[in-house]
């Protein structure tokens, strides 16, 4: 189909068609609007290229909806996201920044670890709280079957979303806690990136973990701290 109407047009037509379908469903089924929004949220923000967490959204929905339903909708959204990323990376694979990723030590190390089963690697990395980018990029760079690629990611994400939704259903975590957790998850990568830049600019700021523990211990037993 892509060869007949063109890659860009196919994506545009697919996006327009999906948007119209979701809009119609939202009008016909008002109760499904939150789940439709969740599908769009996962399909667009679950790419791994946009640093926005989905974990807290799944836990939130698990408080009100069936964990199985939440997992299925999330899985479908992940499938759409996977297709988009697969074709985007394939389309722009000749770009210099993508070649740097392909030849990076991280991709090389991950390839050595997953040489026996890339399918299993995709399932596990998407099911567990592990980095998904290495296995995802490795599959695309190796021209892995897009069918197996989508199935593996969908299976892993179904397990992940189901367990998170069960967590929300079981413990009924307050919305305030989920909001704070979301802010922390968004801020964490930015803080780490900023800290790395500070260390690069000022080597004296760099301390080992053991040195950090010693500093923390000395602070905790200081007279000033005891007064607090």
Does one domain contain both 67 and 129?
Answer: yes
CB 33 within 8 A of CB 73: no
Does one domain contain both 46 and 156?
Answer: yes
Q: What is the pLDDT along the chain (228 residues), one digit of tens a residue?
A: 444 445 556 665 666 677 677 778 777 878 888 888 898 888 876 655 555 788 999 999 999 999 999 999 999 888 888 888 888 777 776 666 555 655 566 555 555 555 567 888 899 989 988 777 777 878 888 888 888 999 999 999 999 999 999 999 999 999 999 999 888 888 876 776 667 666 666 555 555 545 555 555 555 555 544 444
> How many whole angstroms separate alpha carbon 139 and alpha carbon 122?
8
Containing domain of residue 64, as a range?
Answer: 2-173
Does one domain contain both 81 and 32?
Answer: yes
The verdict on residue 104 lying in a domain is: yes
Task: Please state whether the predicted TM-score (pTM) of the whole model is above 0.85.
Answer: no
The verdict on residue 185 lying in a domain is: no
The verdict on residue 39 lying in a domain is: yes
Q: Tokens 């990136």, residue?
A: 193
Does one domain contain both 35 and 146?
Answer: yes
Per the structure, the count of domains in the chain is: 2
How wide is the angle at C-alpha 87 spanned by C-alphas 24 and 12, nearest 5°? 35
Does one domain contain both 119 and 213?
Answer: no
The verdict on residue 15 lying in a domain is: yes
How crowded is residue 14: how many other Cβ atoms within 10 Å of its Cβ? 14
> How many whole angstroms separate alpha carbon 27 and alpha carbon 181?
32
The verdict on residue 183 lying in a domain is: no
Does one domain contain both 121 and 47?
Answer: yes
């Amino acid at each position: 189909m892509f060869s007949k109407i063109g890659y860009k047009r196919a994506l545009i037509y697919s996006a327009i068609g999906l948007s119209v379908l979701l809009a119609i469903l939202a009008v016909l089924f008002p109760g499904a609007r939150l789940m439709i929004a969740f599908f769009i949220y996962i399909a667009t923000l679950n790419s791994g290229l946009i640093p926005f967490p989905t974990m807290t959204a799944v836990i939130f929905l698990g408080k009100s909806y069936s964990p199985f339903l939440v997992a299925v909708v999330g899985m479908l959204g992940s499938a759409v996201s996977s297709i988009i990323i697969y074709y985007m990376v394939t389309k722009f694979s000749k770009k210099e920044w993508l070649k740097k990723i392909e030849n990076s030590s991280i991709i090389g190390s991950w390839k050595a670890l997953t040489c026996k089963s890339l399918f299993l690697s995709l399932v596990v990395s998407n099911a567990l709280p592990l980095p998904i980018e290495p296995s995802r990029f490795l599959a695309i760079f190796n021209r892995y079957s897009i069918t197996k690629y989508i199935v593996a990611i969908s299976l892993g994400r179904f397990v992940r979303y189901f367990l998170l939704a069960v967590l929300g259903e079981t413990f009924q975590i307050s919305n305030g806690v989920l909001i704070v957790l979301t802010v922390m998850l968004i801020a964490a990568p930015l803080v780490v990136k900023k800290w790395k830049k500070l260390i690069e600019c000022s080597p004296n700021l760099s301390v080992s973990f053991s040195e950090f523990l010693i500093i923390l211990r000395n602070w905790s037993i200081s007279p000033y701290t005891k007064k607090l």
